[in-house]
Amino acid sequence: MEKEDWKPFRNALDKSDRKKFDEMFDIPRFYISACSNSVQYVRLHPILMSILHYHYKQLTECISEVERIEDRVNNSKKKRRGLTKKEEEKQEEKEEMPVTLDSYFIKNNTNYR
């Protein structure tokens, strides 16, 4: 019923956006029991909360996955090096330098005059 009220808005969207809009409006089906238990005078409120909740869950899962990947990458770098803290910091400084002719000579401590 609420979806019908939004039909003029949906029809004004591009075709690709219409598909995304339809997918978004299908999300509350995952939370039917929560929506039906929510006593709201405005039908749209539980629908919007369902959509927000779903996307919040997805965002937190993505953040967790990125943090896991960063930890794995950082730990593997440290394991490969087997360096002391001071040596590790020096190595990181070298890796951060841009690759130019000057940085090559600086990195290799070469003095050409």
Q: Where are the domains of the chain?
A: 2-81, 83-113
Question: What integer pLDDT is reported at residue 108 of this predicted model?
Answer: 65
Residue 7 has pLDDT above 70, yes or no: yes
Q: Which helix (H) or strand (E) holds 17?
A: helix 15-26
Residue 9: its H or E element: helix 7-12
Residue 81: is its pLDDT beyond 90? no
Residue-wise pLDDT tens digits, 54-78: 888 899 899 999 999 988 888 776 6
Any idea what DSSP says for residue 109?
A: T
